[in-house]
Structure 1
């Protein structure tokens, strides 16, 4: 038997509880996941605010904790960029830093207690909320589609429209004369498969890991309080590695894909 909260029924059993926590807050047309949009947007502002604050407080003397943290993040990302991307670009490093920190912040929302923010928002008449944007496949595909656009833009900038178009029909099977004409459709198909596979792999890898982590936290929340502490603590500690690793992998693969985009094949 369900109990009513503000006209909405509370989950009556484990199945309803899981379904409730896996349901998105959507707009009236049921076309936009508002929770994913607003949480990711707010975390983007948090990222910009932290780094802006660090830049204003930066000093050549003894750095503070915030400056040390930001410099450590920037050094980590710069090392990755320098080792994978050998062309000249003023965009790649800021892009990589933005991806790493923003994705990490979105992943880290998984550390909040499952019922914390949903219970808070119930006081404001909001009865559905998913707080991990990267556990929404729409969001991860949106980010990976942006990476795809960057791959195309970097390719055209490095090779020109003509050079990029030519590469679509001449690689990976380079040939000359009549054989080049015969292999052109085959090359184009393989190029399209490679181009499409990159954003799909980016999106599904991040989504799969974060969705699984979110689901495990929901299942742990169904256990008695002593079991939640017994199992939730170790899983949260292990999840720190997953959250950080997935943010790093998304960033590193983006850099590698952009590096491949500017290379001539």
Structure 2
């Protein structure tokens, strides 16, 4: 499949599927496909959970309500095990992160040519439909978590307490302030970087494998590799959503604790 309708080589096919629909250039380029898909999935999540909440019954629940209740209970239990302070934001935040990231990851299970080919028929040359395989999306979410860490730290300890945490630990002596500042700053900055890159790396690798299978094998034999990888990938997309959620809660718990 190509934007021009010409037959692509395997290398061209792979390159085409790894190209984003963009506006702008350089640092200010926006990946419209990733933004659009992530927003649509976020709206789907809000609509679905609002629908379940408004139609919830105390009697025998339907399958959808039962699934949502199990999910909410699972996330609530995970948060209680990790976050011991009182905060009304953390549990809804954890639920939002888990479901949203899971839905973005789930797009990787769609056939690689399904939506891009449909978009091409409408005149859209490129379309990548897995937002979590875009480092801009994962790092944007990680930066949001980073700001929450700072806000939680300052709210619980005050500005002076936050500064002391960066300058007087782990070596509690005024002469070691520069060393402490470097160590703690690196530790603080490493949290969002590792959080965003971990999700991106796993999802990009999964997307790449699906593209390689579709680009290098005849269509009639692709199922032999696609089906086993898709089944295994269900575990990966769920695990990565859980890891992103639980690490966010862990970081916020650490920011809320007094050393």
What's the TM-score, normalizing by structure 2? 0.96
Query: 1 CA distance for matches of 2:23 and 2:231?
Result: 35
The residue number in structure 2 matching 1:26 is 22
From 108, 114, 118, give the equivalent of 1:120.
118
Cα distance in 2 for residues equivalent to 1:169 and 1:264: 15
Query: 1: distance between equivalents of 2:89 and 2:166?
Result: 25
Q: Map Cα deviations across residues 91-129 of structure 1 (whole Å, 9 max, x no partner).
A: 000000000000000000001110000111112210101
Residue matched to 1:67: 65
CA distance in 1 between counterparts of 2:7 and 2:210 reads 17
Count of matched residue positions in the alignment of Structure 1 and Structure 2: 256
- Following TM superposition, by how much is the alpha carbon of 1:28 offset from its aligned partner in structure 2, in angstroms? 4.3
How far does the alpha carbon of each residue in 1:54-88 deviate from its partner, in whole angstroms, 9 at most, with x for none?
A: 10111111111111111111111111100000000
CA shift for structure 1 position 12? 2.0
2:54 corresponds in structure 1 to: 56
Query: Which residues of structure 1 form unaligned runs of 5+?
Result: 175-179
- Matched with 1:106 is 104
1:159-201 alpha-carbon deviations (Å, 9 max, x no partner): 1112111211111222xxxxx2211111111110111110111
Q: Which residue of 2 aligns with 1:219?
A: 212
4+ residue stretches of structure 1 with deviation over 6 A? none
1:259 corresponds in structure 2 to: 253
Q: Is 1:17 the counterpart of 2:13 in the alignment? A: yes
Contact 2:2 2:13 in 1 (8 A): no
Out of 175, 185, 190, the position equivalent to 2:178 is 185
Question: Who is 1:208 aligned against?
Answer: 201
Structure 2: distance between partners of 1:216 and 1:36 = 19
2:187 paired residue number: 194
User: TM-score, structure 1 length as denominator?
Assistant: 0.94
d(CA) in 2 for partners of 1:14 and 1:71?
Answer: 45
